[in-house]
Each structure stands twice: as structure tokens, then as C-alpha cells.
Amino acid sequence: MTNDLLKDKTAWIVGAAGAIGHATALRFAMYGAAVVLSGRNEDNLKRLADEFESQAMPRPAIVPVDITSRESVDSGAQAAISALGKVDILINSTTNPIFADFMDLTDEDWMAVMDAKAFGYMRTARAILPHFKKNGGGTIINVSGRGGHQPTSPSHLAGSLANGAVNTLTKGLANMYGGDGIRVNAVAPGPVKSERYDRIAKANQLVSDTMKLKPRPGTGTDNSLGYMSGPNEIADTIAFLASDMSRFMTGETLRIDGGGTVAT
């Protein structure tokens, strides 16, 4: 099933093999966009491309990219432009979560988390912005996380710092490039039910405050709606931000957490 929400749009999705990137790639194709899939794990990207074919959608191009390397990102941007003819939308959806108490985190841990997210998003934006300016506009959507607004776990402080930096990058770029017809927004999910979430939760049982939900009365979860989102709730919001329906929105970070931070 398709509709025309993103008809004739083209998107470079970085971090496409992750749960949110995966769902976003399929949603974008369903909504009529052509996409290029990027990430570090080429095998996972190929499996995602197979899903396109199994759902009778054109097989997307795959461009492996290491977001921690400027050279890899720059060449990936050019490959995405070549594959699509032009790029209208950049989606950044990468992460490198490290869960530990503050005093146990090394300088290398902090840098690794920042490098895979905030610095990585800076690299992809820097690589694609000249193309956007040449074409008279474009859209960047960054996936951060609700901890960037309000740190919710002492054991995920490094990730919260990276997400806060992403939100600041989003506002700064929106302010700098709005006059060029370039919109920059972010989404900040709460916990998202996925295989990765389950794997991290199991591996970090000793850091119970990180992954254990703190139920609110009457909901059974840590949010107001009473259930944990899946990747598609996030992907649909990203699609909205990529579409002309949000054409007068820029510099925003939309929290998609079921009201998890509504009181903060």
C-alpha cells in the first residue's frame, strides 16, 4: 500500500539498519519516496533491501557509511546523490549507547557516544548542505531522544548529553540555513520496543534504573498513554516532518514519548 505523502521525494537515510531507521525507510517508500540506505553493517542493509522487494517496492540503493569518519560520510553523500539524482531529505538515526554509572565512564566512552551521534550528525549535515543550497532547499531530520530534554536515567547520561547536543545542533542549523530553504527538525523518542531494546535491557540488568520502566498509576508504563511505542510511531512522525505538511516548521524537537516527559 502506498500514498502520496512523500511522492517524488528522495531521502538519504543514515542508520537505516536500526529499528527506527528501518521503519522509516519502509514508511518513506510506502509514502512514495525513493531512498538510499546507509549504515555501517552492509549485511543488515541488504536484508532491509530484501524487505523492499518482498513488499513489491523497488529495491533501494545501499551505500555503506561509517558516521564516525568524515571521509566515509563525504563519499557516502556523493554516492547517495549519484544514486538518487538529487537528495531532498537527510535522516540521521544512529546511536552508540553505553550504559554505566557516571564515575565508571571513561573519556573514551563519552567520546564514542558523541562521535556516533552528535558529531556524526554534524558530519552528514556538513556533507549534504552544499547540495541542498545548490538545489534551493532540503530537509534534515535528526533522531535524538527524550533524555536530551530531561535526563531520565543516571546510567544513560552519556546518551542524554549526545541527544542534548543533537537538539542544539538542530536549532543552530535551522537558524543558519532557513534562508536557503533548508528546514532542520528533530524527533526525541522515549523507549522504543525493538529487538535492540530487548537486547540492551537483558545485557544491562545490573543497571536496573536504565531500562526498568517506572509505572505511572493506572498506566503500567512510564508514560501517560500506557504503552511503549514501536518504531512505526517514530517513523510516521519523521515522515510528517519530511513532508510539505510541516513546511513552516523548523528548529523543532518533537518529543514522541507518550507523555513520558510531560511533567518535566
At 206-216, the pLDDT tens digits run 344 434 445 54
What CATH number has the domain bearing residue 123?
Answer: 3.40.50.720
Q: Pseudo-torsion of CA 161, 147, 22, 18, nearest 10°?
A: 50
What's the rounded mean pLDDT across residues 150-165? 83
Domain hosting residue 167, numbered range: 10-192+230-256
Contacts of 47 (CB under 8 A, 6+ apart): none
Tally of domains in the chain: 1
* pLDDT at 218 exceeding the cut of 50: no
For residue 210, what pLDDT is reported? 38
Residue 49 lies in a domain: yes
**Residue 65 included in any domain:** yes
Residue 214 included in any domain: no
pLDDT at 113 over 70: yes
In a domain, 155, yes or no: yes
User: Can you give the pLDDT at residue 164?
Assistant: 95
Phi and psi (nearest 5°) for 4? -105, 15
48, pLDDT greater than 50: yes
Residue 86, domain member (yes or no) = yes
What is the pTM assigned to this prediction? Answer: 0.89
